[in-house]
Amino acid sequence: MSAAAMAFDGVTKQFGDFTAVDHLSFAVPEGTIFGFLGGNGAGKTTSLRMALDILTPTGGRIDVLGNPPSRESASDIGFLPEERGLYKKMSVLDTIVYFARLKRMEAGPAKQSAMALLERLELADWAKSPVEKLSKGMAQKVQVATALVNSPKLLMLDEPFSGLDPVNQKMLEDLIADAAKDGATVIFSTHVMQHAERLCDRLLMLARGKKAFDGTQDEARAALPARLELASRTAPDALPGVESAEAIGTAEDGWIKYDVRLNSGVTPEQLLEHCTTNGFGLRSFDVQTPSLHEVFIHFVGANEEIER
């Protein structure tokens, strides 16, 4: 694995008696898109704030771009906070340039980069307008631009999709994917599985401050018992490795469709091989890939608030 852009090692954060982040360890490999997934109050924002040196951990160690969290690294990091806020009277372009200058960009390149982002975000016509004239979603896109303007090595986006309509969500997904293609490491928090499903190389699932899962999407899916749909003449429930088989419909000529769940650790390939070797007639055999939502429920539980 390549070097880590961020690593937590046994990190805990307590607010009084309440433990918001509980002995959390994970690493974000450089150049990946990494999703922080968890329901409300899971500890996502608290973790990002510790990585940005806004909050100090109660215990454990954090490494960001090879150093402990510090304001010194600010120019290498782009951050979209959960609470959005910009100077209302400042123009859209000046706002983005202001943030670029804070990150030590020269005036010329700052303006160029800001305009390129505004074009990309379809906000170029608003460059001279004060921020207060923008809709909430448009203002959020401007704030995304302030995080991206200096092409930071590490992007941390806290709930970047919330408040955006589907067209703008897609625009932001493309922007995130392109930033990663250009070499940035992107960490974003969300409780909407679809964005994570489309974007993330790796995931961290949090439940009440504790790590519930950390790894790739494939690894997460592989941990779930396999499910498949098959059509056979005989019920498949007695086949080895089958946990349950529910008839879900009849195909022509007496073939019956079944929704089959396998025992943990049994693969669909093993079942198929058994059927072939033992002459168990099959008309169809379709492996069902679990959605990230199902994966989340498996690791974190159905009681956590989450959107599909």
Ligand X SMILES: Nc1ncnc2c1ncn2[C@@H]1O[C@H](COP(=O)(O)OP(=O)(O)OP(=O)(O)O)[C@@H](O)[C@H]1O
Measured from the CB atom, the residue of 40 and 278 that comes closer to ligand X is 40
Choosing from 6, 7, 33, 42, the residue that interacts with ligand X (CB under 6 A) is: 42
Select the span of 37-45, 111-119, 235-243, 286-294 touching ligand X (CB under 6 A): 37-45
Say how many Å lie between the first and final Cα of the chain, rounded. Answer: 30
The answer to whether residues 137 and 163 touch, using CB atoms and an 8 Å cutoff, is yes
Rounded Cα distance between 304 and 43, Å, is 13
Measured from the CB atom, the residue of 15 and 87 that comes closer to ligand X is 15
Residues 76-105 contacting ligand X, CB under 6 A: 82
The answer to whether residues 88 and 130 touch, using CB atoms and an 8 Å cutoff, is yes
CB of 209 to ligand X, least distance (A): 7
Q: Give the contacts of 80 (CB within 8 A, at least 6 positions apart).
A: 143, 144, 147, 155, 156, 157, 158, 160
Rounded Cα distance between 93 and 159, Å, is 23
160 counts as binding ligand X under rule CB under 6 A: no
Choosing from 8, 33, 37, 46, the residue that interacts with ligand X (CB under 6 A) is: 46
Sheet holding 282-288, edge to edge: 242-250, 256-262, 227-232, 282-288
Rounded Cα distance between 114 and 108, Å, is 10
Select the span of 15-23, 68-76, 251-259, 267-275 touching ligand X (CB under 6 A): 15-23
41 counts as binding ligand X under rule CB under 6 A: yes
CB of 217 to ligand X, least distance (A): 20
190 counts as binding ligand X under rule CB under 6 A: no
CB of 17 to ligand X, least distance (A): 10
Size of the site for ligand X (CB under 6 A): 13
Choosing from 5, 6, 11, 20, the residue that interacts with ligand X (CB under 6 A) is: 20
44 counts as binding ligand X under rule CB under 6 A: yes
45 counts as binding ligand X under rule CB under 6 A: yes
Q: What is the DSSP string of 163-226?
A: T--HHHHHHHHHHHHHHHHTT-EEEEEESBHHHHHHH-SEEEEEETTEEEEEEEHHHHHHTSPP
204 counts as binding ligand X under rule CB under 6 A: no
Rounded Cα distance between 151 and 77, Å, is 9
50 counts as binding ligand X under rule CB under 6 A: no
Select the span of 40-48, 114-122, 125-133, 269-277 touching ligand X (CB under 6 A): 40-48
38 counts as binding ligand X under rule CB under 6 A: yes
Neighbours of 87 (CB within 10 A): 12
Rounded Cα distance between 293 and 282, Å, is 30
Choosing from 1, 2, 40, 136, the residue that interacts with ligand X (CB under 6 A) is: 40
Rounded Cα distance between 68 and 71, Å, is 10
Select the span of 44-52, 59-67, 133-141, 281-289 touching ligand X (CB under 6 A): 44-52
Identity of the residue numbered 190: T
Residues near ligand X, by CB under 6 A: 15, 18, 20, 38, 40-46, 82, 191
